[in-house]
Amino acid sequence: MKDYYVYTFHDPRDGKQRYIGKGKGRRKNRWWRDCDGEQYGVGSWLQELRQLKLKPVVSLLATGLTEPEALALEIELIAKIGRQSESTGPLLNLSAGGTSGFSGCCHCDLSRQKMSKARKGVSHSKQWCENISKAKKGKPLSALNRKGLVGAQTGRKHSDKTKAKMSKAHEGHKHSEETKARISKANTGRKHSVVSRQNMSKAHKSKK
C-alpha cells in the first residue's frame, strides 16, 4: 500500500534541516516521543527546543509511497543533505537511512532495559508466530540490517544453559528440501577462514 511518506524536521530558530525520516499515519507528529534518549540522533536537540517551548517545523517531502520507495528516498535525501556525524551536513540522523521499522533507531541503555523487562515472560501464540514468519518470508534484509546483525553477534558467547535450550529446541528438527537447497546454494563456492576451519575441526573432534 502507498501509505508511507518522507518527512523532515527544521529548526524553528534558523530554518536548518535537522532530520529526515520516513513513516505513515501520525508518525511525523509524534516527535515528542523521541525527546527521551538519543534513539534517532535528535533527542538532545528536541529536548533543547522543548525547554525553550519551541517545536520542530515538520514538513512532508513526499507522500503516497510504498515502504521500499520511502526507504530509498530517505537514503537519497540523507546522502544529499549530509549528516553531522559524518561531517557532511546539518542532519542529526544516526544512520544513513533505509532501515524498516524504527528507521535509524538506536535505543539508549535505559530504554533497552525497560524493553527487556517488559518482554520477559511474554509468550506469543502459534498464530502470531506464523503471521510474523509469513510477513518476513521473501523479504530481503538491507545491507545495513545485515551488518547490524553480524555486529550484534560478533564476540557473543552463549551460556551452557542457553546452549542446552538451543540444543533441545533443535532436537528432531529437519529442514525441508527447499531449505536444504537454499543452504546448499548459499554455501556454494564459499571458503571458510583458517579460524573457522579450526573451530569446525575442534567441534567435530569433541563429538567423537
Contact of 28 with 21, CB cutoff 8 Å: yes
| pLDDT score, position 102 | 46
Torsion angle in degrees (nearest 10) through CA of 113, 118, 119, 122: 160
Residue 45 maps to a domain: yes
Rounded-to-integer distance, Cα 20 and Cα 89, Å: 12
Chain centroid, CA 184 distance in Å: 28
pLDDT tens readout for residues 159-208: 888 888 888 887 877 888 888 888 888 888 877 788 788 888 887 777 66
What's the pLDDT score for residue 7? 93
Query: Residue 93: what pLDDT?
Result: 87
Angle (CA) 57 62 68, round 5°: 120
Position 198 in a domain: no
Whether 193 maps to a domain, the answer reads no
Residues of the domain holding 35: 1-117
Dist CA 68 CA 33 (whole Å)? 24
Of 24-38, 93-107, 136-150, 179-193, give the range with the top mean pLDDT.
179-193
In a domain, residue 180? The reply is no
Q: Which residues pair with 91 in a beta bridge?
A: 83
Domain assignment present for 195: no
Residue 139 pLDDT exceeds 80: no
Tally of structural domains, the chain: 1
69/205: higher pLDDT: 69
Element of type H or E holding 65 = strand 57-65
Domain-located, residue 79: yes
Distance CA 18, CA 125 (A): 41
Q: What is the CATH number of the domain that holds 40?
A: 3.40.1440
Would residue 53 count as lying in a domain? yes
- In-domain check, residue 64: yes
pLDDT at position 5 over 80: yes
